[in-house]
Amino acid sequence: MATFHIWTLGCQMNQADSLKLAAGLNQLGYNETSSEDDADLFVINTCSVRQRAEDRAYSKLGVLRKQRELGRKIQIAVMGCMVGPKTDDLEHRFPVVDVWARPQEFDPILNLVQRAGTSIDRDISEGDIDNTLIQMSSTFGVPNGPTAYVPVIHGCDKFCTYCIVPLRRGREESRASKDIFSEVQHLAKHGVHEITLLGQTVEAYGHDLENEHSDLATLFEGIEAIDGIFRTRFLTSYPKDMTDRIIDAVADLPKVCEHFNIPVQSGSNSMLERMRRGYRVEDFEDRVAKIRSRMPSAAIATDVIVGCPGETASEFQATVDLLERINFDVIHVAAYSPRPGTYAYRKLEDDVPNEVKKERLHVIEGIHAGSSQRINQRLLGDTVEVLVERETDGRSTGRTHHGQLVHFDAVNRIGDLVEVTIDEVSPWSLRGREVNDLTLPLV
């Protein structure tokens, strides 16, 4: 039987796409292999957010080209954010690739496989991939574990000056809520207990739907009623789209985790304007205040970019001040990386020296370590509920409702909700023991 291997780079959206493509290929009689060297079809699901991610894809293509020259019989497909609306340039640079597919565009790869002839006489297209018929008839797109990503809105309409995503993933396009609910029901039936609803700006969900009035809160409410789902998460947030109704739904619905991922990107209004983020620092702080007024212990994570074109020392200091004021649970920080095609690449000079970018990165990493440690420290001696996601060498690992990573000694608990008493904390994770485990703590 023919085999395939999907090499996935980048974000959770890509992981969800890879899972769906795998399901479609399975339906066509292809078996997934974890061995890169044994695959008859090799798919690279690419990311363009930074140059480094693209470089990794290029270097993998170089390896595959050599293998093919040495006689390996292999079909090669590239999908994801590296593939824009026009592929002429890519085709010219990488003739080794048999087929190019844009994000969420599965047909070119499914057609390639069907043209090559499969062991199963079935006609499948990407329409079927979002169609519940396939989902209902098999273990379609079910991950190997109790957590799953469910994309609810594709693309982005925001056009921040530094970001390549809208150019590659296109405009915002929400999925019909009935398809999302069927997918979640299907996942629940196959052992998934935690769903993360995905969108580049997930609160924008529903604004473009013509035949229904749904928003993210409608999805939360619908999933609340699905048996087997214990937790609902959502990412990534966009401050301007986060309505009071959505915040209230998170506060009121027991399954929705009080865990927000809201990129602020900068604490300086002039920098936010150059980024064309569409909000001011005051708007962002207003949303955080609203969240904390309804849910004082909510976990709030954010993203920051340092060294964007023209970022002055005082603009950077404004970011430092904001991060210290808000005391985020997690801060994801990245140095600005110019992406060809974006407004910033074309019009703004990448004028912050690399050493300054690195220094600023380290400052933010230090703030993150300090605030995470302070927040985690409060959990010492507390009992938290952990959904176990994996197990290695007798050690189970899972997450709390607020998203903290917890390790504890236990076997055969994957998929269980376990009460764990916390004995050790670090900025990155917690360690504890199951409540009914009477062995002494390791500390």
Strands 417-425 and 330-335 come out as: unpaired
Residue ranges in contact with ligand SF4 by CB under 6 A: 156, 158-160, 163, 165-166, 200-201, 238
* Gap between the Cα atoms of 216 and 206, Å rounded: 7
317: tokens are 């200091």
Shortest spacing between CB 193 and ligand SF4, in angstroms: 28
What is the rounded CA–CA span in Å between residue 34 and residue 4? 9
Choose among 15, 257, 32: nearest CA to 143.
Answer: 15
- Write down the least CB distance from residue 314 to ligand SF4, Å: 23
d(C-alpha 245, C-alpha 170), whole Å:
27
Kindly state the smallest distance separating residue 190's Cβ from ligand SF4, in Å: 30
For ligand SF4, the closer CB: 76 or 308: 308
Q: Which is nearer to ligand SF4, 221 or 350 (CB)?
A: 350
| Pick 238 or 336: Cβ nearer ligand SF4 | 238
CB of 10 to ligand SF4, least distance (A): 12
Question: Based on CB atoms, which residue is closest to ligand SF4, 200 or 218?
Answer: 200
What is the distance between the terminal CA atoms of the chain, rounded to a whole angstrom?
Answer: 52
Q: Work out how close the CB of 308 gets to ligand SF4 at its nearest, in angstroms, rounded to a whole number.
A: 12
Q: Token pair 């074109």 is at which residue?
A: 309
Q: Report, in Å, the least distance between residue 236 CB and ligand SF4.
A: 7
Report in angstroms the alpha-carbon separations of 249 from 22, 193, 239, 290, 379. 34, 19, 16, 13, 26
Residue 303 beta carbon to ligand SF4: minimum distance, rounded to whole angstroms: 8
Q: By C-beta, is 21 or 163 nearer to ligand SF4?
A: 163
Pick between residue 197 and residue 430 the one whose CB is nearest to ligand SF4: 197
Q: Residue 270, Cβ neighbours under 10 Å: how many?
A: 14
Name the DSSP class of 412.
S
Q: Dihedral of the CA atoms 70, 76, 81, 87 (nearest 10)?
A: 90
Closest C-alpha among 397, 16, 8 to residue 195? 16
Q: 43 or 165, CB closer to ligand SF4?
A: 165
